[in-house]
Amino acid sequence: MDHQPKFFENLSGTGKAIGVLTSGGDAQGMNAAVRAVVRMGIYVKAKVYFVYEGYQGMVDGGDNIVEVSWESVSSILQVGGTVIGSARCKSFRTREGRLQAAYNLVQRGITNLCVIGGDGSLTGANLFREEWSGLLEELAQKGKIDEEAVKKYAYLNIVGMVGSIDNDFCGTDMTIGTDSALHRIIEVVDAIMTTAQSHQRTFVLEVMGRHCGYLALVSALACGADWVFIPEYPPEEGWEDSMCVKLSENRARKKRLNIIIVAEGAIDCHNKPITSEKVKDLVVQRLGFDTRVTILGHVQRGGTPSAFDRILASRMGVEAVLALLEGTPDTPACVVSLSGNQAVRLPLMECVQMTQEVQKAMDEGRFVEAVRLRGRSFENNLNTYKLLSHKKPDAELPKTNFNVAVLNVGAPAAGMNAAVRAAVRVGITEGHKMFAVIDGFEGFSRGKIKEISWGDVGGWTGQGGSILGTKRTLPAKYLEKIADQMRTNNINALMVIGGFEAYESCLQLHEARSRFEEFCVPICVLPATISNNVPGTDFSIGADTALNAIVETCDRIKQSASGTKRRVFIIETMGGYCGYLANMGALAAGADAAYIFEEQFDIRELQANVEHLTEKMKTSIQRGLVLRNENCNENYTTDFIYQLYSEEGKGVFDCRKNVLGHMQQGGAPSPFDRNFGTKISAKAMQWISKKLKETYRKEEGKVFANTDDSVCLLGMRRRNLVFQPVAELKNETDFVHRIPMEQWWLKLRPLMKILAKYKTSYDVSDSGQLEHVAMHSPKEAETGAI
């Protein structure tokens, strides 16, 4: 980045008071947002107030609006729901109610509000802001406040964060709570699948989403459901027949279970509701299948927030405070949100209007428009689902005569199987013959390669590890044998799914092209590793699952530490030399420190951390959590740090250590990894098809691709998915430590330190500038978004 860093030290909150409230339906992660707002607010020397019970508390005043301290938000990061309460409030809808609320805020000097809620709550906040000066004048006329106060508190600043499990707010890719709700749904689906399989049953699952089908759509993608009903994309006339044909075909293919997912707001093309009971009755009457209905209900709102939601909410909370500090009377009320992996600020009312447009389009039967208005991420999900769920009859499939091989390289990562499934199914749809290579390049050299069909990959999305088998072996020592196998099996393209080894392997194949013509074919790398250390991408398949495993363990450890009091835990995470897991795990688990290779540390820093913890033990928070990346320093080992803390903390706290090890690699893939793996794999396969067409030499009857851009890595960069030639990524790679030279998440490191009460400087030049909500063209949906 060539921008000049701009630090927030010059943004002072002295003399400012911020009120934080949660309103509307609760969502997991709201507490993480509240915690970040409070701590960032106190950090910049502003006063911060809780407004209990949403707008109702603002109207009632009294003990409902309370100044809070740093410790007030301790131990709430891992708690679902909202600890400050949320209530529906009729009185705030009246001018009298808002007048009372304004009076209660002015009494405490609060002119900055951070509202965490859905579109209803945010619209209410905007109206309050527009009326503010009028309300103060009315209060002055009634003699409740003096003219001085009218001048002093002349304008109200509002920043919103969207907390809603439905992900129904336009302008933001993910709302706080959505990822956690998907975790709950997928846990249930995985559990139901085992019982359904035992009895050859059909299950109809109803998930939340009155006006928005996001949860239904993504969970259908993530579990490979047979059919999904969502409000934005009603089934065509005669869907009853098509669905029953599909279900019976699946049974004929020896599939022992069917899963149908219904959003609670699902409708048909005449705007009539489609209920889970109706779907069940239909299956029973037409097919006689043993069918059960499960309504997930409020389970989806409950439970602990996922790692993704905690990090999202913490980032947004800090961003919200920055937006309030920079606010002027002319700044419109804004929403802080995420676009791809980038924090953005958007005018609140533009987002609300667009969200209302979607509903209007659906009411008027303009469903194509409704999907487009939902945003490119939603559209991509829908297109990918359509691609993967229904196999066309063989007669309708194109025939390209191309053979494409898929293999896994490196260590196993959760989500690899979802990527293989998507590759195989999209490849078949595009008309190719798909081959699976067993045990990476080592297996390839031994001829362990077989054709793989549509049905072979059924049920793979939810499986952890690597079904194809994976090895760390690089191709360099088997080049000749691999070239032989490519020739024998007439392989025209390769998809390599794996971590740093996969990237290195493809570099080796690229460099060997001059000696072996067999490697002159399109090759695509998909990053899949828990370490998230592959250059050219912000995220790798598998890292989210590993992060959730770490956070879950840290939660348990913190609980055990608060039981014993005055205990500090040192936890070692995996990741090679890459500190992603340690750093993001620390942010999501609310740790006191994280030692990583990318940020060198010495004995003085270790000493300072011990002193920091000693001070902390004097407060009401009598436990500590420290994460250490396995390779952060060869001399300051986990044992060394444990012994140092034990010695220095004598009499103040005692110490325990825990090496998390391979549990970080295992487990069922998280919804994010299933979805990410599926989507990038489908996109990569389409790229391979395009390259095959471009590089096919008709006169010789073969594919010949020898340009740099025919060996690419598909990665997520900030807001877009991009194909990057591996030869170009070489310059961005530190091969000795197997990490990219620049890593985006290091920018979030100060965030973790601020939330753990360390003084630090935070570069805000990258923080969101106010943008407008962009309407994307249908073309754009294909190019970039996740």
pLDDT reported for residue 322: 93
Q: What is the mean pLDDT of residues 718-732?
A: 93
Total number of domains in the chain: 4
Say if CB 695 and CB 760 are below 8 A apart: no
Does residue 536 belong to any structural domain of this protein?
A: no
| Type of residue numbered 282 | L
The pLDDT of 284-312, averaged and rounded, is 94
Residue 421 inside a domain? The answer is yes
Rg for the chain (alpha carbons), in Å? 27
Report yes or no on 4 lying in a domain. no
Domain assignment present for residue 751? The answer is: no
**Both 186 and 143 in a single domain?**
no
User: Does residue 783 register a pLDDT over 70?
Assistant: no
What pLDDT was estimated at residue 782?
A: 39
What pLDDT, on a 0 to 100 scale, did the predictor assign at position 618?
86
Answer yes or no: do 628 and 589 share one domain: yes
How confident is the model over 592-610, as a mean pLDDT? 95
Q: What is the CATH number of the domain that holds 101?
A: 3.40.50.450
Distances (CA, A) of 469 to 286, 543, 666, 724: 41, 19, 14, 26
Res 392: pLDDT = 85
Query: Where residue 608 sits, what CATH number does that domain have?
Result: 3.40.50.460
Any residues with CB less than 8 A from the CB of 345 and at least 6 apart, and which?
A: 319, 323, 334, 335, 336, 337, 768, 769, 770, 771
What range defines the domain where residue 550 resides?
543-665
102 and 228 inside one domain = no
Per-residue pLDDT at 785: 46
Same domain, 297 and 309: no
147 with 44, same domain?
yes
Q: Is residue 445 domain-shared with residue 511, that is, in the same domain?
A: yes
Q: How far apart are CA 5 and CA 359, in angstroms?
A: 41
The arithmetic mean of pLDDT across residues 184-210, rounded, is: 91
Gap between the Cα atoms of 73 and 58, Å rounded? 20
pLDDT for the residue numbered 4: 47
166 is catalytic: yes
pLDDT at 1: 38
Q: Kindly indicate the confidence band of residue 768, based on its pLDDT and cuts at 50, 70 and 90.
A: low
Query: Does position 182 have pLDDT exceeding 70, yes or no?
Result: yes
Choice among 26, 63, 146, 166 that is catalytic: 166
Q: What's the DSSP call for residue 156?
A: -
- The answer to whether residues 408 and 466 touch, using CB atoms and an 8 Å cutoff, is yes
Q: Residue 390: inside a domain, yes or no?
A: no
Same domain membership, residue 32 and residue 153: yes
The verdict on residue 384 lying in a domain is: no
pLDDT in tens, 641-665: 999 999 999 999 999 999 999 999 8
**What is the average pLDDT score of the chain?**
92
Tokens of 431: 């008309």
What are 366-386's pLDDT values in tens digits? 999 999 999 888 999 999 999
* 54 lies in some domain: yes
Quick one: 342 and 403 in the same domain?
Answer: no
| Annotated binding-site members for ATP | 25, 88-89, 118-121
- Span 5-42, pLDDT tens digits: 455 555 678 889 999 999 988 999 999 999 999 999 99
Binding-site residues for substrate, please?
Answer: 164-166, 201, 208-210, 264, 292, 298-301
Structure tokens belonging to residue 259: 């899963």
- If asked whether residues 268 and 352 sit together in one domain, one would say no
* Pair (229, 288) in one structural domain: yes
Residues 152-170 have a mean pLDDT of 93
In the annotated binding site for Mg(2+), the residues are: 119
Instruction: Show the tokens assigned to 4.
Output: 């000049």
Residue 434 pairs in a beta bridge with 404
Residue 173 in this model has a pLDDT that exceeds 90: no
- Judge if 44 and 156 occupy the same domain: yes
Closest CA to 571 of 563, 556, 562: 556
**Binding site feature residues:** 25, 88-89, 118-121, 164-166, 201, 208-210, 264, 292, 298-301, 472, 529-533, 567, 574-576, 630, 656, 662-665, 738
User: pLDDT band at residue 728, thresholds of 50, 70 and 90?
Assistant: very high
Q: Which of 143-157, 341-355, 433-447 has the lowest mean pLDDT?
A: 341-355
Regarding whether 134 and 218 lie in a shared domain, the answer is no
Phi-psi domain of 728 (left: phi exceeds 0; alpha: psi -120 through 50; beta: other): alpha
Q: What residue has token string 């080992």?
A: 637
Mean pLDDT across 545-554: 96
Whether 535 is in a domain gets the answer no
**Alpha-helical regions (H) of 237-347:** 239-252, 276-287, 307-326
Strand partners, 733: 740
> Which residue ranges are tagged as binding site for beta-D-fructose 2,6-bisphosphate?
472, 529-533, 567, 574-576, 630, 656, 662-665, 738
Cβ atoms within 10 Å of 229's Cβ, excluding its own? 30
